[in-house]
Structure formats: structure tokens, C-alpha cells
Amino acid sequence: MREFAKHGFAGARVERIVSRADVSPRSLYYHFGSKRGLYDAVRERLRSQHFDDFVRGVTDEPLVDRLLSNIDVAMTQRWQQWARLLMWEALDGGADNGPYPKDTVPGDLLAIRAAQERGEIDPELDPHVLTLAFIAITFWPTMFPQSTRRVTRGMPKDELLEARKELVRALVRRLGDRTPTIAAQPETSR
């Protein structure tokens, strides 16, 4: 996985893969048929793990807990490599494979819809757009580390992690607050 995450499919070299795995090229080709076969097997395994991590119990817990858990999972080495692999696929114009099995609904979208049904957040907000926003908060620093450092003026990782979590807590609180703001309240006649 590291080779594909670091170099993408096109840049990955079988020689480096077999050397790191301490197997022979013959063994790799016997089990996977080709570099593409290995890549597809690695990708499917990761996609299955990703789906399990991000969908298990998704509608049963408060939204804020789910979103904070997603940030923690996204900070692991495995998921940072998964995110990079997805970026390489996007750059290489790879197959239209999502990070979750075809014909399934992303876990965050399920969690947001469930939170709307429970009254945790405003049901009139578009759950698809909210899903994109929370995915960005979760994965942007992993996928775009240089941009993140510039935008946050080099904020240390631990501090940035806590700031992102606090932002998620505040957003979920405010998305559930249906009290009109001063700007949204109708003007009274004088």
C-alpha cells in the first residue's frame, strides 16, 4: 500500500514492492497476476476497511461523536495512506471508484440524515452539502498538507487537530440551534 500511496499506480515499481515485502516477483505475479491485480486487491481491502470504519454504528450515536471519531480515524497512518491513494487515482484519471462500495450511501451522509431526523441539526439544511463540508474538515489536512500549513500559518498538528475538533463541536451546536439570529429576525415597524 505504501508504494501505491507514495507514487500512485503509474509510479509504483514492482521491484520496490517485492523488496519491501521480501517476496519474489514470481510469487507476486502468481498470487495477483499483475501489478494491476495487486493494486486492485490492496484497494479493495482498504475500501472495505474504510467502509467498516466510517459506517459501523453511524446512525446510532450523536452526530458530533461520529464526526469527531472520523477525525481521529483519519489521523491514523492507514487512512492517511488511503486518502493519498484516492488522490493519486483522481490525478491519474482512474476508474470511477468511490471510497465506499458502489450503490451505498456514505456514512457521513447517513449520520447527518439521522441527526436531522432526531432533531440534532436543522432538517432544512442540505445533508449532501453538509457531508462535503465535514469531509473537507476531516481530510483536507491529510490530502493537502502544504496548503494546510500555509492557511493555518504552520499551526502544530496537535493544535490543529484540537482546533478542528472544536470547530466540529461548534458547527454541530449551531446547526442545531434554530433560534433566529438578529440579522435574520424581521424588522419591526417604528
Q: What is the pLDDT of residues 88-123, one digit of tens each?
A: 887 877 655 666 666 677 788 889 999 999 999 999
Model confidence at 133: pLDDT above 80:
yes
Tell me the torsion sign for CA atoms 30, 33, 38, 43: negative
Domain ranges of the chain: 46-177
- Given this model, what pLDDT does residue 97 score? 61
In angstroms, rounded to a whole number, what is the distance separating the alpha carbons of residues 9 and 85?
9
pLDDT digits (tens, 9 = 90+) for 31-74: 999 999 998 898 888 877 777 666 666 778 899 998 998 899 88
User: How crowded is residue 162: how many other Cβ atoms within 10 Å of its Cβ?
Assistant: 12
- Report the topology of domain 46-177: Tetracycline Repressor; domain 2 (1.10.357)
State the pTM of this model. Answer: 0.76
